[in-house]
Structure 1
Amino acid sequence: MSGPQTPPPAPALSPAEFRARVERLLTDILGLMGYPARLEFQDVPDGSLAVALHFEAGAPAGVETGRRSQVVDSLQFLLNKMLHRPGVERRWVLLGAGALPEPRHRKEPPAPVAPPPAASVPPAPRPAAPARAPAPAAPAPAPARQAKQAPAAAPAAAAPAKRAAESDERTLEVTEDAALALAARRLAEKSSTLGRFYALAAMKVEDRARVLKAVQGVAGVAVAGEGEGRCRRVVFTPGKPAPLPKRFLLPDDDEDGFED
C-alpha cells in the first residue's frame, strides 16, 4: 500500500489574475478595518507589485502620506502571508500610503579589501642598555615616624568588638519600631502554635535587635540570631515542632506520587 501522495503544485497565476487577487484581498481587509481606499498598482522591475492606498475617508491614525508606518507595514505583512501559500509562486506586494512605495534595494555584501602590502623595513639597531647605578640604601625610619604609625592598629581592634555585638543583638540599644515589633510577635506566636520553623534574613543588625527584644516573653518558641555577616538571620524554633502534612512533602524514590 503506497503512502499519501503530495498534491501537485498549483499553476502560476498570470499578472492579471495576481493583481485581481491582491485587489480583492486588500478591499476586503480595508473594508473590515473601516478605511476603504482606492488602489493604484504598478509592476516593479524586481518582480514585485507596488500598491498605493488612497484612503477615501481619511487615513488611519498614525498613517501619513508617503511615509512608512506600523499600520501599513502590518497590513503588508498580513497580505503577503495570505498570498504566499504552499505550492503557490511567491511574488511580493509592497504597500504605500497615498503614494507608490519605493522599490526594495537589496544590499550587496561589501567586497573584501585586500590589506596593503607590508613594506620591508630593516630593523632599527637596538641601543645599548645604559649601566644601572647601584640602588641607594633605604634610610632608617625616624623615631617620630614610628610613633605616628602606632595608632593605625587601633581600628583593627574594633573588628572583634563589632563581631561580638552582631553575635548578641540583644545587647544593642535601639529605638522601638511598633510595626516591626507587632509583626515579630505574631510570627513567634504562629511558630509556637503551628510548630513551624521560620527565619528572617537580609536584615540590619538594628532590626534584628528590635525583633529579638519584641519576642521576649512569647511562650513555646525560642528566637535567636544565627550565621555571620550577610548570612546572619533570626531563626524561630518552636518548642514542639510538628511534621508537615504529606501533601507538602516531596515523594521518596520508591513512591509513585503524592498522597491526597
Structure 2
Amino acid sequence: MPLLTIEDVSVSYGKVDAVRSVSLQVEEGQIVTVIGPNGAGKTTLMLATIGLLRSFGRMTFMGEDLSRLSVEDRIEKGLCLVPEKRELFAEMSVRDNLLLGAYTRYNRATINNELEAVYERFPRLKQRHKQDAGTLSGGERQMLALGRALMTKPKLLVLDEPSLGLAPLIVREIFHTVASLRELGVSVLLVEQNARAALETADVGYVLETGEIVQSGEASSLIHDPRLMAAYLGGH
C-alpha cells in the first residue's frame, strides 16, 4: 500500500481550475518530486494535501481517507508541510521554534532527545539556539523549518520550494539533507522549481503544467529526457 495516494484530485479558486484530475503516489521510503513552471499548481496541490485547501477527488494516507481529517489530525498522523515561506516565529528563539514542532507530545526526555538529534543534523542551529529566528540567514531559516518539521516525527514530509531564494552552495546542502531523510525512514514529497536538483535527489518525478500531470517516471530517466532538458534543465 502506498504511503500517500492522490487520485483524480482537482482544486479550484472560484471558477479557475488550478489543479485538474491529478494522480500520484508516494511509497514508503521514497522521495517523489513534482516539478514544473511557476503557476503550474504545485503549491496548490501541496496545500490541498495537508488540508489547507479544499479539493475534489480522493486522497489517502496510510490507507486512511484524508477528507475526514483536519489539518491538525493529518499532522498527528505523520503528514507535515514545510511551506515555501517557512512560516517561522521571527521573535522566538531557534530552540523555541523547534520545540513547537513537538507540541503534540509531552515526554520531556523524548523531546530533548529529538532536539539533540536535530542539532546533530544541523549543527548551525545548535550554535544559534538562543538567537531569534528572524536574525538567521536564508539557509539557516530553511534548516530551522526542516528541523521543526522533523520534531513532529513525520512519516511524510511535504516540502514546498525548499531552495527558493538560497545561494547555490546552500541549495546543495539542503538537498543533501533531504536525501539523507531516507535514513530516518521519512518519505518526502518535494515541490521544486529547481528541476535538476529535485530530479537528482528524487526517486520518482512528476511534471505539472497548467494544473495537469503531463509526464512522470523514474527521476533518473526524466533528467535525461530531451524535452525536459530543454524546458527545465537548461538544455544540458
Q: Please, what TM-score do these two structures have when normalized by structure 1?
A: 0.18
Larger Rg: 1
Greater share of strand? 2
Q: Please, what TM-score do these two structures have when normalized by structure 2?
A: 0.20
